[in-house]
Amino acid sequence: MSTQTSPKSRRGGCPLCGKPSAASHTPFCSQGCRDRDLLNWLGDSYRVPGPPAENGEDRLDSEG
């Protein structure tokens, strides 16, 4: 079995591309990776699996 690691899992590297992180953009390597990570958050690319959220109108109707 191979113990090869992906660039994202390397310790101390940029979480997006795996390059060494820069002190001015920690933990990222550049402003570009930093911006790309922010866009992932804003665009709902990072999601946590779970049950579907209730619709706000349904919740109000069921409360009384």
How confident is the model over 1-14, as a mean pLDDT?
Answer: 55
Helix (H, G, I), strand (E, B) or coil at 50: coil
How confident is the model over 24-50, as a mean pLDDT?
Answer: 92
Residue 57 has pLDDT above 90, yes or no: no
User: In the prediction, which pLDDT does 4 show?
Assistant: 41
pTM to 2 decimal places: 0.57
How many other C-beta atoms can be found within 10 angstroms of the C-beta atom of residue 11? 5
User: In the prediction, which pLDDT does 25 show?
Assistant: 94
Helix (H) or strand (E) holding 59: helix 56-63
How confident is the model over 7-21, as a mean pLDDT?
Answer: 79
**Smallest Cα–Cα separation from 14: which of 31, 27, 32?**
27
Residue 5 has pLDDT above 50, yes or no: no
- Per DSSP, 13 falls in state B
Q: Where are the beta strands (DSSP E) in the chain?
A: none
